[in-house]
């Protein structure tokens, strides 16, 4: 049996395809004896928004090779060509993107007009995609291959922003619903190497190879997806050869898999405790400080995650390699108050199986400090809307700090500003908004990173978020699978070189 190309090597050898993390999968699929094989994949998160590309489901579409944007992220986190072959900045607010020759899965051409229309729909989506939080843009066709994009304010990282899975380009037929501003149907209307052909609600989906994909014909004939929220069931499915790839294997199940079938990838994902700053007990900064002081992060990294994580240091973890050297102390923290049996409700989800255990340990730590805690655990799709509406006092979630844009400022704008679309802490603080806005205006990479860390210090100073651990994600990979795409941004899993 040939040796599997390891993910790190794949990053070096890969062409600019499928989020720029495709492995060098061998010969062209035509004539390959495995040409007719299909991949069986178990995903942890069922669609929460009917596979809308504008929210959390966007990464499902990206990981399965269904959708693409104008740009992608390369192995270093920089913007790389995708549907746009090249681009140039015309002035501080205007960029011209030149499209490559490509077609949508419904057979229509990827034209400047179609791309401009797709981006316009994204700007009108409700809620706004996280990648566009605090950003206004207009897109117009320019000649036969150009798309001119103008932003309301200077946006130094626009090419990076456009790599977001939530800004995928779909054909005009995707927006046939009367509610054109908020609906987009990716089934058969995307541009990736795999086409969604059937979606069975929140349980399964079928994808077939799109033979006219601009980047080359995929080596797998298709993908059969099962959405399996239970982590033990995902591990069991891999162990019994029911699936070829299983994402987010629980730490507790890792030892049940053969070493050759589990891959641990350092990611930019941080598990945090988010405190509702708008209403309830944690509207009081002193009680937020008391909650933060009650938390012992070492108990999670060593205990719950059994070494597959690092203790929480900030919003950005060790996989964001520049962050540690630029981190500063939190600004303006309140003096801790006394909980005095203050009642709080704490919520989390079980799609990532460690989270309920994290929440249980947190419950014990908070109760020891004097809080009275009620714990609620649900499947994520049944929890998200209530969390965003502020129905919980505290929430434990795992968030990839670079998944939305690849820009460190992007997650701050989306998660911690007054207008943020994924602001689970419901934080609205003028000093935080100012720091994030100042960071967003900076073009230089190093200077932007410095400003992001200044904003992080402001955010941590509010105690709206308490970073717990920085995760390493375990993916189950069958022994006969080649070319799996494992990247720290968690945007990719299957591409044209993925096969068995």
Q: What angle do CA 240, 243, 248 make, to 5 degrees?
A: 100
Return mean pLDDT, the chain. Answer: 89
Assess whether 123 and 222 both reside in one domain: yes
- Whether 241 is covered by a domain: the verdict is no
User: Per-residue pLDDT tens for 451-499?
Assistant: 999 999 999 999 999 999 998 889 999 999 999 999 888 899 999 999 9
Banded model confidence at residue 188, pLDDT cuts 50, 70, 90: very high
User: Per-residue pLDDT tens for 363-408?
Assistant: 999 999 999 999 999 999 899 999 999 999 999 999 988 877 788 8
Average confidence (pLDDT) over 175-202: 83
pLDDT value, residue 232:
94
What values do phi and psi take at 95, rounded to 5?
Answer: -130, 145
Assess whether 280 and 399 both reside in one domain: yes
Banded model confidence at residue 440, pLDDT cuts 50, 70, 90: confident
- Whether 318 is covered by a domain: the verdict is yes
Q: Which residues of 298-324 are buried (b: 16+ CB within 10 A; e: fewer)?
A: ebbbeebbeebbbbbbbbbbebbebbe
More confident residue, 400 or 23: 400
Banded model confidence at residue 443, pLDDT cuts 50, 70, 90: confident
Residue 215 predicted with pLDDT over 70: yes
Residue 243 predicted with pLDDT over 50: yes
pLDDT value, residue 256:
93
pLDDT value, residue 404:
76
Assess whether 220 and 325 both reside in one domain: no
Alpha helices in 97-178 (DSSP H): 112-124, 158-161
Look at residues 227, 248, 274 and tell me which one is the last residue of a structural domain: 227
pLDDT value, residue 76:
75
- What share of the chain in percent tops pLDDT 90? 72
What domain range is 344 assigned to? 266-472
Assess whether 206 and 143 both reside in one domain: yes
CA distances (Å), origin 209, targets 66, 88, 188, 287, 349: 10, 33, 11, 53, 33
pLDDT value, residue 406:
81
Measured from the Cβ of residue 437, the count of other Cβ atoms closer than 10 Å reads 16
Q: What is the pTM of this model?
A: 0.75
Q: What is the DSSP string of 289-348?
A: HHHHHH--THIIIIIISTTSEEE--SSS-TTSTTTGGG----SSPPPP---TT-EEEEEE
User: Per-residue pLDDT tens for 281-320?
Assistant: 999 999 999 999 999 998 999 899 988 999 999 999 988 8
Nearest Cα neighbor of 370 from 335, 339, 336, 337 is 339
Assess whether 304 and 402 both reside in one domain: yes
Average confidence (pLDDT) over 263-283: 95
- What share of the chain in percent tops pLDDT 70? 92
Find the helix or strand (DSSP H, E) in which 239 lies: helix 231-239
pLDDT value, residue 20:
38
- Whether 361 is covered by a domain: the verdict is yes
Assess whether 139 and 278 both reside in one domain: no
**In angstroms, how far is CA 51 from the centroid of its own chain?**
14
Query: What CATH number does the domain containing 319 carry?
Result: 3.10.105.10
Assess whether 292 and 209 both reside in one domain: no
Assess whether 183 and 304 both reside in one domain: no
Q: What's the number of domains the chain is made of?
A: 2
Banded model confidence at residue 162, pLDDT cuts 50, 70, 90: very high
pLDDT value, residue 35:
56
Look at residues 227, 254, 279 and tell me which one is the last residue of a structural domain: 227
Query: What CATH number does the domain containing 37 carry?
Result: 3.40.190.10
User: Per-residue pLDDT tens for 73-92?
Assistant: 887 778 999 999 999 999 99
For residue 127, is the peptide bond before it cis, meaning its omega torsion is within 30 degrees of 0?
Answer: yes
pLDDT value, residue 108:
97
- Whether 2 is covered by a domain: the verdict is no
């Amino acid at each position: 049996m040939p040796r599997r190309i390891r993910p790190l090597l794949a990053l070096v050898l890969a062409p600019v395809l499928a989020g720029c993390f495709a492995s060098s999968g061998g010969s062209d699929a035509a004539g390959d004896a495995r040409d007719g094989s299909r991949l069986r994949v178990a995903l942890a998160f069922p669609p929460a928004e009917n596979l809308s590309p504008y929210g959390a489901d966007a990464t499902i579409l990206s990981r399965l090779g269904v959708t693409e944007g104008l740009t992608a992220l390369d192995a270093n986190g920089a913007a790389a060509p995708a549907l746009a072959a090249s681009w140039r900045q015309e002035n501080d607010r205007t960029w011209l993107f030149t499209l490559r020759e490509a077609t949508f899965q419904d057979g229509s051409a990827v034209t400047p007009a179609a791309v401009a229309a797709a981006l316009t729909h994204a700007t009108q989506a409700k809620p706004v995609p996280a990648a566009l939080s605090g950003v206004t843009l207009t897109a117009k066709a320019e000649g036969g291959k150009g798309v001119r994009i103008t932003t309301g304010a200077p946006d130094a990282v626009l090419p990076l922003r456009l790599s977001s899975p939530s800004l995928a380009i779909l054909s005009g037929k995707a927006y046939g619903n009367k509610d054109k501003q908020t609906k987009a149907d990716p089934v058969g209307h995307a541009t990736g190497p795999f086409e969604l052909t059937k979606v069975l609600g929140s349980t399964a989906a079928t994808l077939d190879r799109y033979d006219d994909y601009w980047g080359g014909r995929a080596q797998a004939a298709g993908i059969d997806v099962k959405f399996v929220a239970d982590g033990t069931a995902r591990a069991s499915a891999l162990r019994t050869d029911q699936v070829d790839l299983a994402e987010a294997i629980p730490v507790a199940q890792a030892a049940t898999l053969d070493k050759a079938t589990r891959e641990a990838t350092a990611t930019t994902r941080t598990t945090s405790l988010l405190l509702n700053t708008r209403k309830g007990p944690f509207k009081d900064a002193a009680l937020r400080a008391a909650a933060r002081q009650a938390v012992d992060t070492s108990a999670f990294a060593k205990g719950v995650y059994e070494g597959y994580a690092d203790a929480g240091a900030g919003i950005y973890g060790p996989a964001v390699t520049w962050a540690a050297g630029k981190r500063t102390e939190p600004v303006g923290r309140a003096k801790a108050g006394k909980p005095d049996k203050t009642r709080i409700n704490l919520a989390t989800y079980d799609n990532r199986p460690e989270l309920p255990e994290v929440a249980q340990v947190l419950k014990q730590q908070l109760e020891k400090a004097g809080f009275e805690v009620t714990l609620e655990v649900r499947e994520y799709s049944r929890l998200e809307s209530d969390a965003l509406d502020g129905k919980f006092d505290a929430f434990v979630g795992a968030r990839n700090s670079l998944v939305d844009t690849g820009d460190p400022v992007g997650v701050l704008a989306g998660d911690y500003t007054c207008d943020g679309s994924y602001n689970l802490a419901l934080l609205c603080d003028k000093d935080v908004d100012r720091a994030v806005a100042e960071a967003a205006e900076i073009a230089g990479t190093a200077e932007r990173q410095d400003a992001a860390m200044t904003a992080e210090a402001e955010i941590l100073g509010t105690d709206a978020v308490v970073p717990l651990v920085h995760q390493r994600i375990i993916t189950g990979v069958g022994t006969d699978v080649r070319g799996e795409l494992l990247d720290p941004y968690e945007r990719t899993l299957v591409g044209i070189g993925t096969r068995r």
